[in-house]
Each structure stands twice: as C-alpha cells, then as structure tokens.
C-alpha cells in the first residue's frame, strides 16, 4: 500500500489525518518540524507528501522548492495544506510545483479522495 509522509506541526490535525489514512490502508509517517522534512522524504521514500504551508524552522514553500530542485523528488506528488487567507502563499506554492491544495478546515472525505487520486497516478 502507498506510503504517505505527513509534514504538519499541529499535532491534533496530524493525528486525525494519520488515523483517517491509516484506516484506508495507507502507511503514514508523520513529521512535525520543517527542518526534518527534507531528510524525512529521503528516508521514507513516500508516494505522496502532505505538506503544511506554515511550519516551524522551514516553511512548506521552502521544502517544496527543495523537493522540486532534487531530480529524485522533482515529480513526487505533493499536497499542500493551506488556511484560508493564505492566497498569496498559495499562488507561490502553485508556481513552485504543488500538485494539489487542501484548504483548512477540510472534510475527511475530501482528504481521502485527494490522497486516493494523488497516489493512483
């Protein structure tokens, strides 16, 4: 089954997503700090990265840019978690190569459907 790397500093959101996706059979690896994200991608070799935009130490946008700059992860599907009101950041992430955006607060069904679509590529 597909492996999902979840990079989200809000512990409670992270636990909820981890629970939802685990029940659907995904293997979920969770990281809570931006600085650990890039190495976690290399270690976990995920099929999908769910990346929060606002993270401590390294922003989601920086992480995305770094992933896209690396040939090994340039095509790795990345779903960005954004909050309403982050329109400008979202535009920047779109330009940097994000595959999908999920706006907080999101429904669990939308999250499941998006993960299903991105891992079925």
Partner 1 sequence: MDKSAPPAGALLPGTQIRERRLSLGLRQAEVAAGAGISASYLNLIEHNRRKAQGDLLGRLAQVLGVDVATLSEGAGGQLLDDLRTAAASVPTMPAELDRIEDFAGRFPGWAAVLTATLARAGQLERVVAALNDRITHDPHLSASLHEMLSAVSSVRSTAAILAETEDIDPVWRGRFHRNLHEDSERLAVGAEALVAYLDGSESRETEQAAAPQEELENWLAARDWHLAELEDRAGALHLQTEVAGLASAAARSLGAAFLTQAMAEAEALPLATLAAAMAETGSDPALVAQKCRVPVLVVMRRMALQPGARVGLVCCDASGTLLFRKPVEGFVLPRFGAACPLWPLFTALGRPMTPVSATLEASGRVPRLFRAMAYCESRLPLGFGGPELREAGMLLFPLDQAPDHDQVRAVGSSCRICSRRNCPARREPSIVLQTG
Q: Kindly list the residues in this chain that would bind partner 1 in the complex (CB under 8 A).
A: 10, 12-13, 15-17, 19-20, 23, 54, 83-86, 104-108, 111
What is the closest distance, in whole angstroms, from the C-beta atom of residue 55 to partner 1 in the complex? 12
Closer of 30 and 54 to partner 1 (Cβ): 54
CA–CA separation, 92 and 16 (whole Å): 27
| Residue 69 or 83 with smaller CB distance to partner 1 | 83
- Closer residue to partner 1, CB minimum distance, 10 or 62: 10
Nearest distance, CB of residue 70 and partner 1, angstroms: 29
């Amino acid at each position: 089954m597909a492996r999902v790397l979840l990079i989200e500093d809000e512990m409670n959101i992270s636990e909820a997503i981890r629970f939802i996706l685990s029940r659907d059979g995904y293997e979920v690896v969770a990281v809570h700090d931006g600085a650990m994200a890039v190495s976690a991608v290399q270690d976990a070799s995920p099929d999908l990265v769910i990346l929060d935009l606002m993270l401590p130490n390294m922003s989601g946008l920086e992480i995305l840019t770094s992933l896209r700059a690396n040939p090994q992860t340039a095509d790795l599907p990345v779903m960005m978690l954004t909050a309403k009101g982050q329109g400008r950041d979202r535009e920047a992430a779109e330009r940097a190569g994000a595959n999908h955006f999920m706006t907080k607060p999101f429904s669990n069904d939308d999250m499941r459907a998006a993960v299903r679509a991105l891992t079925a590529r």
